[in-house]
Amino acid sequence: MTDWNAAHDTVNTALAGSDVMMPGGDFFGPQLLKAVKKKQVPQSRLNDMATRVLASWIKLDQNQTGPNQ
């Protein structure tokens, strides 16, 4: 995860190992998708980013829909 407003380049930030860019910004999301389509960032890197984010989300039971599930 980047520090707030510390990253200013989609490709370099993704390739350097950041999975999440804070506070969201314009560099990931649509810009990351464009970089993957242009083969500037490998699809495998995007998959790796998503896997780590989702693994943490699931590990913390954030995938539950209600308080009793």
User: One-letter amino acid identity for 50?
Assistant: A
- Residue (of 45, 60, 50) closest to 15 by Cα position: 45
Q: How many Cβ atoms from other residues are within 10 Å of residue 2's Cβ?
A: 18
Asked about 61 being catalytic, the answer comes back as: no
Catalytic residue (choose from 3, 26, 48, 61): 3
| Residues 17/48, Cβ–Cβ less than 8 Å | no
Q: What is the mean pLDDT of residues 21-31?
A: 79
**pLDDT at 47 (0 to 100):** 96
Q: What is the mean pLDDT of residues 37-66?
A: 90
**pLDDT at 6 (0 to 100):** 83
| Residues 34/14, Cβ–Cβ less than 8 Å | no
What residues contact 27, with CB distance under 8 A and at least 6 apart? 7, 8, 9, 10, 13, 21
